[in-house]
Chain A
Amino acid sequence: MLEQYTGAFLMLIIAIGIAVGMVVATSILGPKHRFADKAEPFECGESQIVSPHQRFSVKFYLVAVLFILFDIEAVFLFPWAVLYKRLGVFGFVEMFLFLIILGVGLLYVWRRGGLDWE
């Protein structure tokens, strides 16, 4: 069973080599002229006035939470879809209930304006 991952493991090592090699190569090659102005963050030619860490819309937080919930839902669906032929009508009813309950949730979030992006 482990053998099927041999190729992926080898690819993993090669990919680490490529990624690290590139970052190292670009740091070694190329000129190095450091001065204070160059080390400043890009701000369209101005020096930075406000901190980059401002507060953002709570919408992003809601998106992340909803993503977790629907991702868990999708993960439940994968074994179901694989076994679908064997489970038959029973499997369909089972998943229909599951999807309906979550559909109600999505509808509630939608109606309350949780999906609006004003």
Chain B
Amino acid sequence: MIDTVTQFLSDNLVLIVGAVKAAIIAVALLSSVPLLVWLERRLMGRFQVRLGPNRVGPFGLAQPFADAVKLLFKESIVQGSADKFLFFLAPAVVVFTAIVTFSAIPFGASFTLFGQEIGPHVANINVGLLFVFAISSMGIYGIVLAGLASNNKYSLMGGLRSSAQMISYELTLGLAALGVIIVSGSLNLVEIVEDQAVVPNIILQPLAFILFFTAGVAETNRAPFDLPEAEQELVAGFHTEYTGMKFAMFFMGEYINMITMSAMVTVLFLGGWNAYFFEFLVPPVIGPIIVFAAKVFLLLCVFIWLRSTFPRIRYDRLMTFGWKVMLPLAVLNLMVAGFFKVL
């Protein structure tokens, strides 16, 4: 009996390890969303010289969890003339693409456990960078479908605006990442991090870093590029008609995308789990993951800092900025990077 169980386990070890890793990461990702919401509300409070949520639980930590439960038990209103199937599909697409995108991101050096080498990532894909771009580009359909299915003019306008914004900045995102690939010569995210063992790419490619991060903020629809949610003009844009958990799912997607984008910036530019001068402080196994998480946390704080500092950009300026400043700069950066590499 025990023999057959161990036999089964050793036969399907890859599958079992993969499933456990995927489940752990999915749960961690989902539970980090309320924590991030809490962090944002507390930090925003500090920036605006007020307290922020501090009543429910210690330091108000239970507040976003209470909000989640409340949203789950709200009525799910479906507008009469809406396309029912697509109306339900849209928030599912947003959450789905956000979670799957994260599966390609490595967040620590691989270690050995029970004689089995385990890499802290769900999938180490050869074309990892392109995989992240490809799956995250599917997220746009959640917004487009929400706009189309709602059958409301604000939603449609918001969906159209938001998708035009996302495709414009997606170009800069890809072209800025190309500068890093020229330096490291690989699309594999683990190899890109290992390539930065001595010098992080932010020093070699400073312009690419600025372009990538700015485009990343626009891509995740965060302030000051949060045009789709422009409350004053579009009454919340593409998710006007959504209530309850379906409404919250758009925000879950947004916050998971924020984490993914921060992780991507860490992998591509900040040297991933390399600690550089502080390498002697880092314990084995869990240490690299902590270093990686610290860098991601720092970037998330920058996201929140940007939101409380900059006012929202006007839509025409947003589009011309994307096409006339970001895109030419990204192409120029690529040419300069190629030129210096060939010397």
Q: Are B19 and A10 in contact (CB under 8 A)?
A: yes
Residues of B within 8 A of A50 (CB): 153
Within the complex, the shortest CB–CB distance from B36 to chain A, in Å, comes to: 17
> Which residue in chain B gives the minimum CB-CB distance to A88?
B342
> Which residue in chain A gives the minimum CB-CB distance to B247?
A26
A-B pairs with beta carbons under 8 A, tally: 207
Given A30-B74, A41-B241, A60-B160, A22 contacting B92 (CB threshold 8 A) = yes
> Which residue in chain A gives the minimum CB-CB distance to B74?
A30
Q: Are B92 and A118 in contact (CB under 8 A)?
A: no
Asked whether any CB of chain B lies closer than 8 Å to the CB of A96, the reply is: yes
Q: Are A14 and B167 in contact (CB under 8 A)?
A: no
- Determine the main DSSP class of A at the interface with B: helix
Of the stretches B76-84, B266-274, B279-287, B292-300, the one at the interface is: B76-84
Within the complex, the shortest CB–CB distance from B135 to chain A, in Å, comes to: 9
Asked whether any CB of chain A lies closer than 8 Å to the CB of B131, the reply is: yes
Q: Are B324 and A110 in contact (CB under 8 A)?
A: yes
Q: How far is the CA of A30 from the CA of B123 in the complex (A)?
A: 37
Given A8-B100, A30-B72, A84-B182, A74 contacting B171 (CB threshold 8 A) = yes
Q: How far is the CA of A20 from the CA of B78 in the complex (A)?
A: 17
Asked whether any CB of chain A lies closer than 8 Å to the CB of B170, the reply is: yes
Residues of B within 8 A of A77 (CB): 175, 178, 334
Asked whether any CB of chain A lies closer than 8 Å to the CB of B65, the reply is: no
Q: How far is the CA of A6 from the CA of B87 in the complex (A)?
A: 31
Q: Are A52 and B245 in contact (CB under 8 A)?
A: no
Residues of B within 8 A of A106 (CB): 327-328, 331
Q: How far is the CA of A70 from the CA of B9 in the complex (A)?
A: 48
A29-75 contacts to B (CB < 8 Å):
29-33, 36, 38-44, 48, 50-54, 56, 60, 63-64, 66-67, 70-71, 74
A1-37 contacts to B (CB < 8 Å):
3-8, 10-12, 14-16, 18-20, 22-23, 25-27, 29-33, 36
Q: Are A40 and B334 in contact (CB under 8 A)?
A: no
Q: Are B125 and A4 in contact (CB under 8 A)?
A: yes
A84-118 contacts to B (CB < 8 Å):
84-85, 88-89, 91-92, 95-96, 99, 103, 106, 110, 115-118
Within the complex, the shortest CB–CB distance from B314 to chain A, in Å, comes to: 9
Q: How far is the CA of A39 from the CA of B79 in the complex (A)?
A: 5
Leading 6 A-B pairs by shortest Cβ distance: A39-B80, A7-B123, A26-B245, A11-B103, A117-B316, A7-B122
Residues of A in contact with B (beta carbons under 8 Å apart): 3-8, 10-12, 14-16, 18-20, 22-23, 25-27, 29-33, 36, 38-44, 48, 50-54, 56, 60, 63-64, 66-67, 70-71, 74, 77-78, 81-85, 88-89, 91-92, 95-96, 99, 103, 106, 110, 115-118
Can you show 6 pairs from A to B with CB atoms below 8 A apart? Answer: A18-B95, A74-B174, A77-B334, A78-B130, A115-B324, A118-B316
Residues of B in contact with A (beta carbons under 8 Å apart): 14-15, 18-19, 21-23, 25-26, 30, 71-82, 88, 91-93, 95-96, 99-100, 102-104, 121-126, 130-131, 150-157, 160, 164, 167-168, 170-171, 174-175, 178, 181-182, 185-187, 235, 240-241, 244-246, 249, 315-316, 319-320, 323-324, 327-328, 331, 334-335, 338-339, 341-342
